[in-house]
Structures are given as C-alpha cells and as structure tokens.
Amino acid sequence: MKIGIDCRSMLNLRGGELAGVGHYTYYLVKNLLKIDQENQYVLFVDHKFSSESDFANDNCKIVKFPFYEYKKYLPVAYSQMLITSFLNREKLDLFHSPANIVPLFYSRPSVVTIHDLAIYRFPEFFPRSFLSRQAFSTKILVPKTLIKAKKIIAVSKNTKKDIIENFGIPEDKINVVYEGFDSAGKNLAVGANFKNVSDKYGIGDKYFLFVGTIEPRKNLIRLIHAFRNLMMVYDSPARGCQLILAGNRGWYDEEVFESIATANASILAKDNRRSGKERRRGLDIRPEESRQKDGERRKDVERRKNDPIKYIGYITDEEKFALMANAVSFVFPSLYEGFGLPILEAMSVGTPVITSNGSSLCELADSSCGHLVDPSSEADIANAMQTVLTDEGHCESCKKVCLQKTEQFSWEKCANETLEVYMAALKK
C-alpha cells in the first residue's frame, strides 16, 4: 500500500520550528516508519524543509511541492487544484492530512486528523481578521473534508463529540487516537541547571507555573485573579510564592498584562505603579527616585525577582522542563483544548497539575494526579492552589501517579492505532 502524508507543517526541525500540528506529524511519521516496513510512505513537504535525514528509510520517499513557495501569489482555488494534481501523480492508495483539510479537488481515499474545533466552538476567542482569513477553510474546506474522508481521527473524545455536534458526522466514521508523548523531556529536566534558569528569569524557590500562548482561551485573567486572591488572605500559605507565566504572546493579550500589573500592585501594596499599557506606551507616573533606575526590564538576576506574578515570554524546551520539574504545581485552567500536551509534559516530571474539568483536559488528568477545577470559578482555582501548598501527602501521591499516567500516551501506540485506521479506511 502506498500512503501519502501531508508533512508541510514540519519545517526546520533543528531550528525549533516544531510545534502544534508539526509536532504531531513529526512523531507520528517517525513511529509509523519504525513499526511498519510493509507499506510505502510518501511525505509531502514544504520547499523549506531541510531535515530529510530524519526520515531516511527504504520505504519512505520525500516529495517537495515545487510551486509551494509561490502559494501566496496563487488564488486559493487554483492552489488547491495544483496540490491535487501533484498528489494524483503519486497514485496513492491513501492520503492522510494531519491538519484538518484534504485538498478540495482530491477524490482518492483519504484520512484526516482533527485536533480541535475551537474556532467553531468559541469564535469570540479569535480576532475578526483571523476569522475572515480562515473563512474559506472553516466554511468550505473543513466541512467538505469531513464528508469525503473515509475515516476521521480525533485526538480526544471531546474533539470527537465536537465533530459530531458541529457537523453531524456519523460516530462510526470517527476514531479517537490520542497523541503521543515524547519522554525526552524527563532527561531535559534532569540535565538542566535550575539555578541558571531561575536566576535568568528572576524566579524564587516556590512557584506555580503556566506554559502556553497568551490568549483568551487559556483563561489567564481568572488564574491571575485567583492567585492574587489567595495571596491577599491573612496568613496565606502562598506567601513567598510566585505565579510564572511563560509562552509566546497571542492575540487579545493586553488585558492579561493589565491584570498582572494590577494584581502585583495589590499584592505588594504599591501605589504609583505603571500598568502594562502605560509601560508599553512609555508613560511614567512613578516618583522621581523610581525613575532614576535604568528601567523596569533589568537583566539577568535583577529581573523583577520580587514580583509575585511574572510573565517571562518564550522559553526553550530545556528551560520549560527545568521549571516544570521544580514547580509546586503546573496550572493550566484553559477553557478549551483539543488535547493538552503541556499537562502530560508536567506530569512526566512528577509535577502535580491543576487543570480544567472540561474539554479534553479531564481525559488526561484526574484527581489522582492533581486537581480538576471549574475554569469559570476563580475561587475553585484558588482553592486548588491552596490545597497544593498545604496538603503535602496528596502532592507526594500525585507525583507517583503522574509518572505512571504519562506511560499510557506513547507515540508508538499512536502510530499503531493510526495504522489500524488506515487499514479500516481502505476497507470502506
């Protein structure tokens, strides 16, 4: 059997361009090639792809779309026709799209993976400009893909439920195949020097950690308020504790930074403190003695180490796992996730998690490895944080369960179950 896989989401792997769908595609393909020597695989990649050696195998062929670098100059429909034509040249028995969409005019047997339907479930989380750019995809490409695909892979039970509810797809057409987990993070956490990382970002010994894009669906404003409320309680167990937020900036993030500045001012009981908006606009209402300092963004060990709530921006994998391994708890109260890989990453280094009791997150974690909270309740989030700080016995038992739980999510298992979906698709 000749199986084609759309690998355009994988770019310069060694340059760090491996996230989201690219991460899923990379590890899925690596493990398919590892377990399956009978079928032939054709990997369709972007013209910038430069990691052919990662997939050197007798039963693997890598094909670059010759026109793909000019895609921004092509009308969408024409681009779809060119991609279809190029796929048809390979005379595939089955084509797998790991990223929601099969080319519009491609009619041979296909499988598609759906990661989440946040854009359908919560359009208010996205800017209008983004929704406008995605309109052709969301209104035409994705619905048509789901209808014509022989099989649909959903990365969680919640995503399967959303596909059925939003598009009326028959349940037996959808297979739940959980993403895998790369356990290399355990070694990164052990090998990293936590002191170097904590000094670099001004982080103390006791902290809660969040890692993810700064955007509305991550529910960060409620998390910030919950932490502030816990810190303001008389004789709070969180005294001396920090909340560390790491990750790239997304959209609609201004209010998050306003909340950080306001919460820090409340916790530290400081007046005349610049808000995030004032800082970015260059406004300065601080007293003269405060303005004498070189600036609020000081370097290395001086970087606002006393701030209870800190946003530290993008961090490397080594830094991420070092911070995860030493955190009191990993906090991820997202309102919606298709899978929730950060939860597994934190659990893999034995760190208790606090996460939402909705969407797919409760499929990955339960009360035995942390706390499930109502993401709409600041009080619920604060109570979970307080329990983590005060119930040492539960935290110790959580660590053991966390390590066992992540063993259920392997890329080899994901590849085996995906291969079964391929076989089932060709029998239809």
- Looking at CATH, the fold of the domain delimited by 184-406 is given as Rossmann fold (3.40.50)
User: What average pLDDT score do residues 278-287 get?
Assistant: 51
The pLDDT confidence band at residue 324, using thresholds 50, 70 and 90, is very high
Q: What is the pLDDT of residue 416?
A: 97
Residue 183 has pLDDT above 70, yes or no: no
CATH number corresponding to 2-180+410-427: 3.40.50.2000
| Cα distance between residue 179 and residue 409, in whole Å | 7
Of 80, 130, 125, residue with least CA distance to 106: 80
Judge whether residue 226 has pLDDT over 60: yes
pLDDT tens for 358-402 read 888 988 888 788 899 999 999 999 999 999 999 888 777 887 788
Amino acid identity at 362:
C
pLDDT on residue 15: 40
Q: Does 184-406 match 2-180+410-427 at the fold level?
A: yes
3-state secondary structure of 154: strand
Q: What is the value of pTM for the model shown?
A: 0.85
Question: Which pLDDT score, from 0 to 100, does residue 83 have?
Answer: 87
Per-residue confidence band for 301, with pLDDT thresholds at 50, 70 and 90: very low
Q: Which of 45-59, 183-197, 227-241, 366-380 has the lowest mean pLDDT?
A: 183-197
What is the residue extent of each domain of the chain? Answer: 2-180+410-427, 184-406
What is the distance between the alpha carbons of residues 79 and 41, in angstroms, rounded to a whole number?
23
- Answer yes or no: is pLDDT of 339 > 70: yes
Note the pLDDT of residue 53: 80
